[in-house]
Chains A and B, each alone.
Chain A
Amino acid sequence: MIDRSIMPLTGKQRDIKFPDFNEIDFNNGLKVFLVKDSRYDLITTRFLFRSGSYFDYFSGDNKSGLASITSEMLNKGAAGYSAHQIAEILDMNGAITGSGAGYDASFLSLTCLPSNFDEVFGIGADMILDPAFPEAELIIKKNRLINSLISMQDDGSYLAERIFKAKVFEGTPYAGDPDGNIKSAGGFEREDLLQFKSKYFNPSNMIIAAVGNFDIDYIVKKMRDKFEFKTGLNDTVNFDFNLKQEGIKIYLKEKEDATQASLYMGHRGVPRNTEDSVKIIFLNTMLGGSFTSRINRNLREEKGLTYGVRTAFSFMKYSGDFSIEAEINHEKAGQAVEEIIGELNDIRNNYAENDEIQQVKNYISGNYPMQLESSNSVAGKILSLELYGVNKNYYSNYLSEVDSISQEDIIGTAGKYILPDELTIVAAGNVKKLKEQLSGFGEIIITEEVL
């Protein structure tokens, strides 16, 4: 019989190196990253355009969702092929495809077996270089998008998040949902997509990452043949983000029949390229970014107030936000918000114990290798560094930077980036009950708008 009362002693974690990759600059500004991985008989090619919904804002009145619909329409006819013909080619080759847009980038991705790569890559290149955006297909896409957005209005957590982003980023290019809204979706014309494509979806504004079982020289040649030609340079449009807020604001949205309140609260944040990003990630992991973080432990494991609560710093290219999200019983909403604000103040005002800091260091460093398990995830990391202009050594230095974090770093980072006095608190649910629960925290605004 073993003595189970003693936790076993273990050795030091084996070091992990960020996988090797090739980086190639084409003469038109296009960047190519290659991660060769022969373990699996697959190739994934991701085409990333350095323009996402940020540029919707600069594309005319209420063009929210334009980057997204433009990328999602790439496969709806190109280079003489109809939408149906493209779908047939991709499906016959067993390709798994994706497209869409986030705040700062739009993408097209294609995954297939190496034996089908030539045909899939060829049609992918046609979709990027010569999309047709047929009127009839645009009508179908708009109908689908509008109906999806109508359905989302029934989801309390979606409403709470949308209202939060719209308020925190009010009047800025990040206020809108990258997927658009019901009004904007109805208004898109073919000309809007053609203009957005010609301005932003061109090889000079592109990053390609390919991952999988391929011959490097062969795949680079394929890419050069299709994409190495001069295109117009893209406008970079700067925007002055001044998101400072005076005092706590509470927005309540009525959601008929809600049996729980959807809570989404937080405040302005910082761009991805901030020099404190590792410290911020560390702080968030300790505060609410993991199952054993302070806020989840308090609200779920000690008080049973919620199925789960998570905090996150969303980093965008030019700005960002900090948010806390949970579904809470209406009658406990006040208690939950009070506990959350208490935790925010605590991490700002009191030094964390060294034991807790060491635990978070171990958690981050122990789990980090899992993020490198698939080559696709590695490619995602490389693409993100390039897109956001982050130093390429970021991941090589990541764990040593995590390891160097001190008590002073945490309290300093919390003081700088956790702002309890600027909270925007959004709750979707029974407004009457929520008003009673939350009236003590700040100015209450009932919002009717459907976003």
Chain B
Amino acid sequence: MIEYKEYEYGNGLRLVMSKRPEIPNVIINSSFYVGSKDENPEKTGISHLLEHLMFTGSKNVPQGKFDEILHANGGESNAYTTNDITSYYLSVPSSKTEIGMWLDSDRLASFPVNEESLEIQKKVVCEEKQQIHDNSPYGSFDIESAKKLFKKSGYRWAIIGEEEHIKSFSLEDVRNYFSRYYNPSNMVLSVTGDIDYDEIVNLTDKYYGDIPAGEKKRTYLYDEPELEEYTEEDIEDSITLPARFMLYRAPKIGTREFYALKLVSVALTSGESSKIFRKLIESNISAEAYMYLNGMEFVSIFGFTGFINEGKTVKDAASVMNGILNELLDGGLSEDEIIKAKNKIQTSYYIKIQSMVRLANSFGFNKIFYNDCDMINNEVRNFDDLDNRFIKETAGKYLKKENSVVLNYIPRKRS
């Protein structure tokens, strides 16, 4: 049982704390309820660009000195952006908790970006896009899948954004985005580690308490229409071996149906007794194959990926992958598959909660999307009452052809 305490401030800031005294370090996580889907379609990538810019300095932290000060005080930092959330963490020795809060809050108290850092980080992000997407085998997958799977909502572009948009951002664009979303009423601060609860409550008040509440993010209007028809497309890439990516729109996070499909993905993928291992890998169709569920706020993505071996074709892989899905749709999972998946989920959970960084991250996520910090203690229980009847019913509802997009990555003909 993970213990925690919560506190809410006058400016809307929500604080979650969990004490873990064994290691003399503290994690300070700031999670903002904004991600790439909230962007203007003509200005994609700004959430992720702003994530880079939040480390470049602020009013009282000289440009380029944020990480330098943090490191000089024994700290470390990182951040990530998703379609729905932008999350930052600082790790500091517990004796330096106040410096961590000073650094983190100063970049919120006033707009922290200047022209020079903006221009440099635009270049860095373009290099990142090259490295992760453009110059990496199958690297365009995130971009292509978002485009094909969604037509109207902000899920239709990739988190990194369009290169032309990234290059065109002005300081004003970034300032407007920052002002709208980076404020106490639109964030959760979670602090884990070697802490004293009262001290954290007071320090949070001292450093974040006087930042104006700002606008709370309006409810996002998710109005993506149902997929009209099945789409299958071949994409040429600089690769030697083809791959088949099957994608389905799936239920949003936190729902019983979401957990049912999560269980399906674990049951059919995890371990060498799994159906995917037996039918795709052992039969020499794929060197790597797996199912996954990418959870998002309004809709999730259920994926089934098979990298295809030399001498095998997309058709060979499609036939086996469809066979695995059809068995699921016809009969659901076996009793053993369900037990195995639940056991794996439990083992993985104990591994996850050993990390203070992951714990702080989970608190931020759970508070933002469920307003329920106890989710951390119920993660495994969410799977307890799932039976095969419900699993089969859910699979039938979502994993159907007309709710899917298939991308076949094909080697580009070489000169």
Residues of A with Cβ closer than 8 Å to B?
A: 1-2, 4-5, 7-8, 10-16, 39-42, 75, 83-84, 87-88, 90-96, 111-113, 116, 140, 143-148, 150-151, 153-156, 256-260, 290-292, 297, 300-307, 327-329, 358-359, 362-363, 365-367, 369-370, 372-374, 376
Contacts and interface: CB of A to CB of B under 8 A. Distances in A.
Given A13-B95, A302-B64, A373-B25, 15 more contacts: A2-B206, A4-B102, A10-B97, A10-B98, A92-B339, A140-B282, A147-B241, A257-B412, A301-B120, A306-B124, A362-B71, A363-B71, A365-B74, A366-B73, A369-B24
Given A7-B99, A304-B121, A363 B72 contact: yes
Given A13-B95, A291-B71, A369-B25, A96 B347 contact: yes
Nearest to B414: A256
Given A260-B135, A362-B73, A363-B74, A151 B307 contact: yes
Nearest to A306: B127
Interface of B: 22-25, 56, 59-60, 64, 67-69, 71-77, 91-99, 102, 105-106, 109, 119-124, 127-128, 130-132, 134-137, 194, 206-207, 210, 238-241, 270-274, 277-278, 281-282, 284, 286-288, 307, 309-310, 336, 339-340, 342-348, 350-351, 353-356, 412, 414-415
B287 A151 contact: yes
A90 B93 CA distance: 39
Nearest to A367: B76
Contact of A113 (B98, B109, B132, B347): B347
B23 A91 contact: no
A8 B347 contact: no
Contact of A91 (B240, B271, B287): B271
- Ordered nearest first, which 4 A-B pairs have the shortest CB separation? A366-B74, A94-B343, A304-B123, A91-B271
Contacts of A153: 240
Contacts of B60: 4-5, 7
B98 A8 contact: yes
A290 B94 CA distance: 21
A329 B127 CA distance: 7
B344 A91 contact: yes
Contact of A4 (B109, B273, B345): B109
Contacts of A150: 240-241, 310
25 contacts: A5-B60, A11-B95, A13-B24, A13-B94, A16-B24, A39-B354, A84-B273, A84-B278, A94-B340, A94-B346, A144-B287, A147-B287, A150-B240, A257-B238, A290-B71, A301-B64, A303-B120, A306-B127, A307-B131, A327-B131, A328-B127, A366-B96, A367-B74, A367-B76, A369-B93
Given A12-B95, A304-B121, A366-B93, A95 B136 contact: no
A144 B281 contact: yes
Contacts of A11: 95
Given A90-B271, A92-B340, A301-B120, A4 B130 contact: no
Nearest to B273: A87
A87 B347 contact: no
A87 B271 contact: yes
